[in-house]
Amino acid sequence: MKIQDLFSVAGKTAVVTGGSRGIGEMIARALVENGAEVIITSRKASDCEALAAELGPACTAIPADLSQMAEIERFAAEVAARFPRLDILFNNAGASWGAGIDDFPEVGWDKVMDLNVKSVFFLTQKLLPQLEAAASPDGQARVINIGSIDGQHVSDLETYSYAASKAGVLHLTRMMAKFLGGRNITANAIAPGFFPSKMTAGIAEEFREAFRVATPLKRWGNPDDMAGVALFLASRASAFMTGAVITVDGGYATTV
């Protein structure tokens, strides 16, 4: 019952997609700094490799474009070669697209859905042998999907495919929980609110400030906020949780 045991990820192996920046970087740092061995991936090789070099030998970069099935398969094969047993999979990679309903393009739909939903399902599928190898009734493997509060409430922004994709991720997580539980794999999701990242940097300043003011805690999320919930879901502390969505947004989605 000691906290250092309940929340420990020391010696665990983990994959963090979209791990080179933003929320993915926050999660990767938390895992490495607490003793896990981590593979990060992102489409931009230079960003991915720079962060891995900064975090040290416990972090490995394997760049990949997970919106493409061939890249999902290649990445999964490289992970399997390095980690025959995989304890934790963070499906974090994502994209967004904003446009009015009259002008919203097909590419803005397909790009977002392929990365935000399709890759979550198929990367998990391809890594199931490694997750099962690490799993037991006393120590389940973990799939942790990054959704968004935009999958829980109606946004003020016209990001149709993003909102639909994140709602899909949250329900996909529940489906995974039901059908992977018997294989000693839990599936949970995090629904972040506003965290500074390259994606949120694309939102106009007046909207970002409006989000902050409307948030009951009057601030945006920071790395500690994400690290805490990520370590909880990755550790023994959450062993009897599956199919859950933890909202980390300072109260925005439930009060605005």
Give me the active site residues, please. Answer: 162
The two counts, helices (H) then strands (E), for the chain are: 12, 7
Our CA angle for 205, 211, 213, nearest 5°, is 100
Query: What SS3 class is residue 169?
Result: helix
Tokens 């446009």 -> residue: 99
In angstroms, what CA-CA distances link 96 with 31, 93, 199?
Answer: 26, 11, 7
In angstroms, what CA-CA distances link 55 with 10, 51, 131, 185?
Answer: 15, 6, 24, 28
32 φ, ψ (degrees, to nearest 5): -65, -45
CA distance 228 to 96: 25
Q: Hey, which residues does 88 pair with through a beta bridge?
A: 14, 142
CA distance 167 to 92: 14
Other beta carbons within 10 Å of 221: 22
